[in-house]
Each structure stands twice: as C-alpha cells, then as structure tokens.
Amino acid sequence: MLLRNIDLNLLVVLDALLSEKHVTRTGVRLHLSQPAISHSLNKLRVLLEDPLLIRQGNEVVLSSLAQNLQAPLKAILGQIETLFGQSIDFVPADSQRTFRLAMSDYGAAIVLPKLLVQLRELAPGTSLVVTQDSRLGMLEQVEQGKIDLAVGVFPTLPADMCSDVLFEETFTCLLNRHSLPDNGELDLDSYLARPHLLVSTDGNTLGEVDNVLRARGLQRRIAVNIPHWGAAPGMIADTDLILTVATRTLATLPSGGMLLALPPPMTVAPFNYVQVWHQRFDEDPAHRWLRDLLRQVSAPSAP
C-alpha cells in the first residue's frame, strides 16, 4: 500500500469511528454529513481489507484489527498535530475536543465538580466522557488509547505510563458512635474484633489497610465489600460495621450525627491520588492543558 494513495484525512475519520462506533455520531463530532462518513468508512474497509465495525445484535463492536489500531492511530495523530502545531498553542476557548477520563465515584465526587466548572468556563466547546473501571481496567484503557487519563490510586505502573500526583490522602475510620466500647475508644483489639465494610471497585478483598495489618501478622474480617465510595457511609449508620475510608470522602458528612469519624488505631501511611496517561500523549498540547487543569482543581486551595 503506497502512502501517496492514501488520503490522510481518513485517519481522522478512522480515529473518530473507532471511538464512537457510530456513523451518525462520528459525523456530528467531525461536522461532516452521514453520507460522507459512510463513504470514508467504505474506503477504509477497502484499504485495510477489514470490516472495522461489526454489528452484533443491537450493538456495534470493533474488529480485532480495529482494536489493535486504536492506540497507534492516536499516537500518530498526536505526532502529526505536534509536527504541524509546535508553534501554535492549544486554545481552550476554541476547542471542540472530547476528553475521556476514567475514575471511581470517589474521584467523581472529589475532583469532577471543580473540573466541570473550569471546563465550562474555559473550554465550553469541549466534551467530557467519564467511565469507571478497576485499576487494571483503567490502565488497559490508557494503554489502548480509549481514554486520555486514568485518575485514582495506582501503586505500580507499566514503563510506558506517566503519572502526576494530584494530592496526598489519608484514612479515617467511620462507625456508629453508640457501638464504641464502654471506654469510648477504638483501640486495635476492638478494631479487629468488629466486622468491616470495604470499598473495592474490583471486588478485591485486600486493600491498603489489609496490607498494613498483614505485615504485622494481623487480619480483619470483611463482612461487606461494595464498589461505591459514595454509598458506603450511609450503609453503616445502624450497624456494628467499621468503614476505614479515604478521608476526603467524609468532607460532606454532617457533624453531630450518629456516625463518628476517628483515626485508625494503627499507623497507615498516606497514599497518593494520581493522574495517569500514556507517554505518547506527553507532549500533546491539549492533553497537557487538561493535566494542568486537573492538577489545579485538585490542589487543597482550589476554588
């Protein structure tokens, strides 16, 4: 296949088609008619000798080739943009880019509200798509180019991933104040004797707290395991459960109620909440702008 025989504009259409998996939505995204997108899709199918988009029942899925093309295609387009736009700054107010993030409902509660305010003010033409997955699932989406950024806690990263610390987070215990021992204190023995509620987006029964306990030869009993940070505090109000959770999730908890927040009865190191991206986007101007914005809105003094 000779490069001179290929209209490079097809790469832009292909990138949008693989993201949207829908001819009409692709047309809206690129401001092109549906017949024009259909014509481009037919051209791409001939050039690549592959269907690319396959209908399965009521949904459209990507062919194996299309899945493998997503990441390198985004990298190529990013390099082309950099090549021809090195002296041109990204202009948020004029941008119509779609940004794709992955985060848990913890991130959605802590980071997303301030981010949306800034996006609507600084870049009203942009779109934001937010998804949720396990840690491994988020990293796979970053690797495949399906999302721009994964936001969360990632103790280890592949070599081709970049990261930036947004803030440091600590742990707090939450429990029914009337379920405390007679001395009114939550010591380690009382902590281990009680059943616990664990928040885990992937169903893993070992979190950061459990790793600390295991290092000391100790273990707590996980009675309930749920994937939603936001729902967790309300679930323990009338129970004997203890929730050891990221401190910022309790910022809106009303004071003086049935629930009591206490420090853990053992030392648990703070952890970093980070944003992760693939190195192929490290120099992308729009990507850098979004990362800077996320860093700003995540700062303790952010408005």
- The string of pLDDT tens digits covering residues 70-124 is 878 877 777 676 666 544 467 899 888 889 999 988 888 889 999 999 999 999 9
What would the mean pLDDT of 214-225 be, rounded to a whole number? 93
Mean pLDDT in residue range 7-36: 86
Bridge partners (DSSP) of residue 60 are 55
The fold for domain 171-269 equals D-Maltodextrin-Binding Protein; domain 2 (3.40.190)
Examine the pLDDT at 35 and tell me if it is beyond 70: yes
pLDDT at 254 over 80: no
Q: Which residues have C-beta within 8 Å of that of residue 206, sequence separation ≥ 6?
A: 214
For residue 89, the model assigns a pLDDT of: 61
Average pLDDT value for residue range 271-286:
89
Question: Which pLDDT does position 81 carry in this prediction?
Answer: 66
The confidence score (pLDDT) of residue 206 equals: 76
| Beta pairing, strands 221-226 & 242-246 | unpaired
What's the confidence (pLDDT) of residue 102? 95
Q: Which residues touch 102 (CB under 8 Å, ≥6 apart)?
A: 130, 131, 132, 133, 137, 138, 141, 142, 147, 149, 150, 151, 152
Compute φ and ψ for 61, nearest 5 degrees.
-120, 165
* pTM greater than 0.85 (yes/no): no
Segments of the chain assigned E as strands: 53-56, 59-62, 98-102, 127-131, 149-152, 161-169, 171-176, 195-199, 221-226, 242-246, 259-262, 271-278
Report, as an integer, the average pLDDT of 236-257: 83
Per-residue tokens: 223? 């009675």
Buried b (16+ CB within 10 A) or exposed e, 147-174: bbbbbbbbeeeeeebbeeebbebebbbb
Instruction: Quote the pLDDT of residue 51.
Output: 92
Cα separation, 303 vs 298, in Å, equals 9
pLDDT at 178 over 70: yes
- Angle between helix axes 64-85 and 285-298 (nearest 10 degrees) is 90
pLDDT cut 70: percent of the chain above it: 91
| Domain-wise residue ranges, the chain | 1-68, 171-269
SS3 100: strand
Residue 94 in tokens: 């004029």
Count of C-beta atoms within a 10 Å radius of residue 295:
15
Number of C-beta neighbours around residue 261 at 10 A: 16
Tell me, which fold does domain 1-68 have in CATH? Arc Repressor Mutant, subunit A (1.10.10)
Q: CA of 162: how far to CAs of 8, 104, 169, 288, in Å? A: 29, 19, 20, 12
Angle 86-157-113 from CA coordinates, rounded to 5°: 70
Instruction: Please report the pLDDT score of residue 114 as a whole number.
Output: 94
Pairwise CA distance, residues 152 & 272, whole Å: 8
Specify the 3-state DSSP secondary structure of 55: strand
Using left for φ > 0, alpha for ψ between -120 and 50, and beta otherwise, residue 163 falls in: beta
Tell me how far CA of residue 154 lies from CA of 114, 173, 193, 208, 247, in angstroms: 22, 22, 30, 11, 18
